[in-house]
Structure formats: C-alpha cells, structure tokens
Amino acid sequence: MKEASNRLRFLSIAVIVFALVLISKLYWVQIVSGDRYEGLADHQYVAGSSYFDRGSIFFSAKDGSTVPAATLKTGFILAINPQILSKDPDIGAVYEKINNITPIDKDSFLSKINKESDPYEEIENKLSQDVADQISGLKIKGVSVYKEKWRIYPGDSMAAQTVGFIGYKGDELAGRYGLERFYEPQLGRSGDEAFVNFFAEIFSNIKKRVVDGGSLEGDIVTTIEPTVESYLEAELKKVNDKYHSEFTGGIVINPKNGEIYAIGMDPTFNPNDLKNENDPSVFRNKFVEDRYEMGSIIKPLTVAAGLDSGAITPKTTYKDPGCMTLNKKTFCNYDLKSHGSLVPMQTILSKSLNTGVAFIVNKMGKEVFADYMFKFGLATTTGIDLPNEGHSLVSNLNSPRDLEHAQASFGQGIALTPIITVRALSALANGGVLINPHLVKEIKHKIGTADKIEFEESQRVLKPETTEEISRMLTEVVDRALKNGTVRLENYSIAAKTGTAQIAKSGGGGYYEDRYLHSFFGYFPSFDPKFLIFLYTFHPKEVKYASETLTDTFINMAKFLINYYDIPPDREAPPPATVKI
C-alpha cells in the first residue's frame, strides 16, 4: 500500500512538473520570444534570407517612462526566384508592375533575373506594409515579399556619439561605437536557428551569469533624459555655429550619484544615415576618449586641496607678483598684472589668478598637492560604461621640479579627459566623494528579470566642510565676478568657474598663441546640488575667454533645468553690489 502511494505521489509530481514545463515553454515562445520565432518562421524556408534580432536602448523621461533610442523596425523584403521568373515571357511587364508600386533599378532587376540557377535574389528592402501588400496582390509567380527587421534610431542624431550604432566588421554585425558596443553582450542575440531548444536557451543564459560571470541578453535603460539632451544639443550647436569652433561639447550630470542626464557634441551625425559621413572621427566620443589641458577650471581643485590640507584658510592672503619664474620658466596672470600685496583667497578664484594657485601649491608642498590631484582621480579612468575610455596625461605631477606643479595648479601641463574632469569637479559639489559616472541604470533581461545598476560607497577625497567652503567661494564667483555679477540668479545659488587654456602644438614645442580651449563648469543649488554642468569648446574663433563663449550657454541650461525639474528656490537675499574685475 505504501509502495502504491509513493508511486502515485511520484506520478503526481511528474505531471505537475511536466505541466509547469509546458506552461513555461508556452510563455517563453509566445510572450518572451514571440516576435523572434514569428520572424524565424517567416524566413526558415527562404534561401539567403536571415532574421535580425537585437535588444533595445531606451532613454528615461522625467516622468519615469522610457523613450526608444535604438530599436528595431519591421518592414518587408522584395525578393525574386530567378529559377521561376526567368521563364516568364514578359519580364518587361513584370518590371513595370513592380516599379509602379515601388521604384526599382531596371538594370539590377534584369541582371538578377538572369541568374537562372539561383532560387533567391533580393531586389529591395525596408518596404512598408502597404507596398508589400500591393506587390503580394499582383500574384506574380517568382515574386515574393518577406518580413524583415532592421536597426533604427528614432532620435536621429540625439546623443549619437553616446548611443553609437551597429555595423559590419567582416561578416559580423555588432555594436561598433557607444553603448551599442559597450553593451554588446546584453544587446546582441545568439542563435538564429528556427528551433532553438527551450532548456538550452534558458540555461545557457543562466550559465552566462552564474558560471561565466557574464550578463543576460536584454534591453538597456539609460539615464539620459531626452528633453534635457535635446536642449543641451541645441545650445551646443549655437556656440559652435557662432564662434566657428572645431567642436563643442557638454554634459549634465547628477554630482551625487553619477547619473548622466545629457551628454552631447557638435558637430554630430545621424546613425540612420551614415553614407554621407566622410570623417569617421565624428563617431568618437571625445568626452571619454580625448584629452585636453583644461585651464582654470582646475583652480577650484587646487584651492580645495589647500583648504583641506590646512595650508590655507579663507582668510589667508598673499603678495601677488603678477608673474613668477620657476625653474627658469616664467608664467603670469591673464592680464600680466599684480593684484596687490594682500590678495585674499577669494580673489584667486574671482579673478582667476595663476600666481595665486601657484602660491597655494608652494604653501602645501608639491608632494601634498600631487597627492590630492591623484585622490581626485586625475590619473585613473572613471569606469564609465562607454568603450575606449582614455587615460589622462598627468606625469608632470611626478616631476621633482616646482614648475610642473605650479602649471598643473592652473590646468596647464596636464591633459585630462572631460569625464575624468567632471568626476573630480563633482567631488566639490557632493560633499567630497568620487562618483561613478554612468549612462545605464537598468538592464531588462529577455527572460523577464531585471538588474538595477548600483555602485559601492564612493571614496572620500575631501572633508565635507572643505566642500562647503569651496562652494561658498564659487558662488561668490557667480554672484560678484562672472560678467560683473549680471548673470546672478536672485533666488538660486550657483557655484561656477570658467577656464581658458592655450592649446598645445601638435608634436610638442609649446603652445599656439591664438588657439584656446574654453571650458566652464558649475553646479546648483550650490549647497545641495541637483545638477552639475560641464561645457567646453575647442578653438573658437575671434574670441579669447570662456566667460565670453560659454557663460550664456551655462546660464540658459541652468534656467532650463530649474524650470523643467521645478527646483525650489534656495535663497531670497537681494543681489549684492557687483565688483568689476
């Protein structure tokens, strides 16, 4: 009796397991992979035709909804069977009937019909449903239409260098730039055979995660907010067009958690239409791949290091010589003038004095200064989720001479990628920690699970009280010095600094006298920042200072973000008297 009961129990369990397997397989085939198997069914009997599948990339709107950045579009292929069609006595009439519906090249059409031993030749692709229906309605033997899918980028040029695109390398079609390349393991699809074993597909994905440490195939959801991205790109284009720069870039980031809301570059390109792009350098993401001497936006890092180390206080003063000579090399303030014998630390930032930050380096010692610059992450990559992240060139920080450290204190002699610069500057805004800049916040796996992108606690590089003081000083820069205080927002505090750096000559040998990199960074509200904006423009024409080229763009961005995200005011004080510099 007990044996019969065990058999019955075993049989019941087996039936339940079998039923669960069937239900799971139906869910997998019909819901999770329904589109895929439908496409495979359309193609499995068609010689030469293959089915394309790939995960999607999404932007994240302010309200939490997703907006496609890269996805698939369904259309139709027009194909012929020359073995059948070549026997048609009136090929000209066949051509005219099809050409009246969708224009096709007659010479190409006739040459493909002449391949009488070939059962399949494609004539046209990416046809609409209406065109496909009309061609099917002709009922011409040897003429067929089949479903196909291809990659599209609904935003056209929006965030193009960041999203990237797919392309062929030999016979392999895969991501070649941007997120398309970085997240190829998640976006790519393995196996196009029509009858993939259900268990093999599930467990091969699980093996990737558990055994191989890989990632499951799926879609990726980015932190990019499309409205913010669109506004930023429009502002960058204005700058580039007005000053005829070689290029202009910008980023909007959350300085507390590293989420990037917008990142853009002008000129840009449309990944839906690459045939007219003659210069492949436009595909590069200069934010992560290229390095520049950033100029005076590095000065706040130097001042913060001086404050944090105790070498200076806000009340420290110094005698400004106007120019200094170290190791037989002379450098000067921008105006070649001395600004007094008791110059306070605030003036170093407000008037952007090179001699002032060199004084701070001397007070703290070049070894301490270099140690802080390394703590700010200037010598390490950020780990941002984009391919080909470059290393900065900061060997001058290891120099035994005083000159190289003095130059580094005002952003010359060291070359940084913009994203490394943004990470370092974010530490001034967020209380003193290094963030992890990133573009993807969630991966939605095709098996139905999802991964939220999370990071370990950030490394502290400054005391919180140091960042509060440097934020106060940078707010003073905007309130009183930047364009003589005329861009101050009455109800919002903004901390910011401009930078103007000479561009080094290619191949070495000093700097161009008439070529500059302009940069600008700022965050707001100053003491509880929601956004940090970084802007730069390379070799603008007939203009010398970043305060002229980028101030209005920054303020426009700040006002837009304040209104778009309904940021509450953080102050009600009347504007202070302005001070000309």
Q: Which two tokens stand for residue 393?
A: 């060139």
Look at residues 60, 177, 181 and name the one whose alpha carbon lies nearest to residue 441: 60
Does any domain span residue 130?
no
Residue 505 located in a structural domain? yes
Closest CA to 272 of 100, 411, 405, 156: 156
| DSSP helix/strand/coil, 573 | coil
Could you tell me which of 295, 297, 268 has the C-alpha nearest to residue 283? 268
Does residue 44 fall inside a structural domain? no
CB count in 10 Å sphere of residue 10: 10
CA distance 558 to 547: 15
For the segment 329-375, what is each residue's pLDDT rounded down to a tens digit? 999 999 999 999 999 999 999 999 999 999 999 999 999 999 999 99
Q: How far is CA 564 from CA 338, 478, 544, in A?
A: 44, 22, 32
Q: At what angle do helices 354-364 and 366-375 cross, to 10 degrees?
A: 100
DSSP 8-class letter at 448: S
Report the Cα–Cα distance between both ends of the chain, in Å, rounded: 101
Q: Does residue 452 form part of some domain?
A: yes
In angstroms, the CA 48 to CA 265 distance is 40
Q: Which value, in Å, is the radius of gyration of the alpha carbons in the chain?
A: 30
CA distance 493 to 470: 13
Are 245 and 537 in contact, with CB atoms under 8 Å apart? yes
Averaged pLDDT in 10-residue chunks for the chain of 581 residues? 61 65 54 50 46 92 97 94 91 94 94 91 93 94 92 97 92 93 92 44 45 70 98 98 98 98 97 90 96 97 98 97 96 95 97 98 97 98 97 96 97 97 98 97 88 87 98 98 96 97 84 94 98 98 95 98 97 58 41
Sheet bearing 247-253, strands edge to edge: 260-266, 247-253, 531-538, 511-524, 495-504
Q: What is the pLDDT of residue 576?
A: 55
In a domain, 191, yes or no: no
Does residue 203 form part of some domain?
no
- Number of domains observed in the structure of the chain: 1
Residues 6 or more apart whose CB falls under 8 angstroms from that of 183 comprise 55, 57, 175, 220, 385, 440, 443
Task: With respect to residue 103, please indicate whether it lies within any of the assigned structural domains.
Answer: no
State the DSSP string of 386-440.
Answer: STTPPPPB-GGGG-SSHHHHHHHHTT-S-BB-HHHHHHHHHHHHTTSB----BSE
What's the rounded Cα separation, in Å, for the pair 338 and 456?
47
> To the nearest 10°, the Cα dihedral for 119, 123, 128, 129?
-30
Instruction: Report pLDDT for 110.
Output: 92
Specify the pTM: 0.86
Q: Which domain holds residue 334?
A: 226-564
Q: pLDDT tens across 277-331, in order? A: 889 999 999 999 999 999 999 999 999 999 999 999 999 999 999 999 999 999 9
Domain assignment of residue 30, yes or no:
no
516 bridge partner residues = 502
The CATH number of residue 378's host domain is 3.40.710.10
Q: ∠ CA 579-580-581 to the nearest 5 degrees?
A: 120
Instruction: Identify the DSSP state of 503.
Output: E
